[in-house]
């Protein structure tokens, strides 16, 4: 199956700093999603981005499908950005609609 | 539009018992998937249903089963509970299920097995 690696595993930022989270995947995909897991465990959708670039406020994401990686940018970080960020991919062309998740990046934003 | 709902939110069971978890997808969504999250194994796929048919199953023992009803609501069942089944169980729905559609997750059911 597809392998997903996220880096860094842990990240500590001062409030106001910018950060880049990376997701590498081992095979072609036609679904890539970024999630933020809140303290209660719910996965909040950030981006659905199998290719290209998207922006939503202080967050943006880029996926370069041909090189099998995706980046999540967080600018002007706030304490509410703390939590775990997951990248998940799928390749439905292989007959499987399951998302394969990376192990996540734990972000801590300190005041 | 209401999001994915899961019931119950918290559950405590004893080893050997069985448990049923419920998931209601977003209105109009026909594909429902289940995932297990544990500190050691991370997020792992359990199974996916579309039009009441299981299309994919993850690498879990037969104690884990599920079903989907005609209204797209889904249930998963774990029989003969083991301590290692303690986890957050997440349900996700997507629009049609015949393409790489975005998945939306519910708040999860936190199961503790004692």
* Long-range contacts of residues A82-85, Cβ cutoff 8 Å, at least 24 apart: A82/A107, A82/A108, A82/A109, A83/A36, A83/A37, A83/A38, A83/A39, A83/A107, A84/A36, A84/A37, A85/A6, A85/A21, A85/A34, A85/A35, A85/A36, A85/A37, A85/A46
Distance of CA A85 to the CA centre of its chain: 6
- pLDDT band, very low/low/confident/very high, at A52 (cuts 50, 70, 90): very high
Instruction: Determine whether the interchain pair B103/A100 forms a contact, defined as Cβ–Cβ distance below 8 Å.
Output: no
| Alpha helix segments (H runs only) across B12-57 | none
Residue B109 touches partner A, C-beta closer than 8 Å: no
Per-residue pLDDT reduced to its tens digit, B43-52 = 999 999 999 9
Average pLDDT over residues A6-23: 98
CA atoms within a 13 Å half-sphere pointing along the CA-CB vector of B13:
25
Query: ∠ CA(B93), CA(B47), CA(A48), 5° rounding?
Result: 40
| Preferred mutation among A56, A61, A99, A100 to probe B, highest tally of B CBs within 10 A | A99
* pLDDT the model gives residue A94: 62
Residue A98 has pLDDT above 80, yes or no: yes
> Minimal Cα–Cα distance from B57 to chain A, Å?
9
> Which tokens is B43 given?
């997020």
Q: What is the dihedral of CA B95, A24, A3, A88, to 10 degrees?
A: -20
Strand B53-57 to B42-50 pairing: antiparallel
Q: What is the pLDDT of residue A4?
A: 98
In a mutational test of the A interface, the residue from B3, B40, B100 whose CB has the highest number of chain A CBs within 10 Å is B100
Tokens of B45: 């796929």
Q: For the segment B77-90, what is each residue's pLDDT rounded down to a tens digit?
A: 999 999 999 999 99
| Contact call for A48 and B102, based on CB within 8 A | yes
Which residues of chain B carry a pLDDT beneath 70?
96-100
Chain pair A-B, CB pairs under 8 angstroms:
61
In terms of pLDDT, which residue wins out, B73 or A97? B73
User: Considering only CB atoms, which residues of chain A are within 8 Å of chain B?
Assistant: 30-31, 33, 35, 40-43, 45, 48, 50, 86, 88, 90-92, 95-101, 103-104
């Amino acid at each position: 199956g597809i392998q997903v690696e996220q880096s860094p595993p842990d990240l500590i930022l001062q409030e106001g700093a910018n950060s880049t989270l990376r997701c590498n995947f081992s095979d072609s995909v036609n679904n890539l999603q970024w999630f933020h897991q809140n303290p209660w465990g719910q996965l909040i959708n950030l981006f659905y981005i199998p290719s290209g670039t998207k922006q939503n406020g202080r967050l943006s994401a880029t996926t370069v499908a041909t090189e099998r990686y995706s980046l999540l940018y967080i600018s002007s970080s706030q304490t509410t950005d703390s939590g775990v960020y997951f990248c998940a991919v799928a390749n439905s062309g292989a007959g499987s609609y399951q998302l394969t998740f990376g192990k996540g990046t734990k972000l801590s934003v300190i005041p | 539009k209401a999001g994915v709902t899961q019931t119950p939110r918290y559950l405590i069971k004893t080893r050997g018992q069985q448990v049923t978890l419920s998931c209601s997808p977003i209105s109009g969504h026909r594909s429902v998937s289940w995932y297990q999250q544990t500190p050691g194994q991370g997020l792992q796929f359990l199974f996916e249903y579309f039009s009441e048919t299981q299309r994919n199953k993850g690498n879990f023992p037969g104690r884990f089963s599920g079903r989907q009803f005609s209204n797209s609501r889904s249930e998963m069942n774990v029989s003969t509970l083991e301590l290692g089944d303690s986890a957050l169980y997440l349900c996700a729905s997507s629009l049609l299920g015949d393409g790489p559609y975005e998945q939306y997750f519910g708040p999860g059911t936190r199961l503790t097995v004692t």
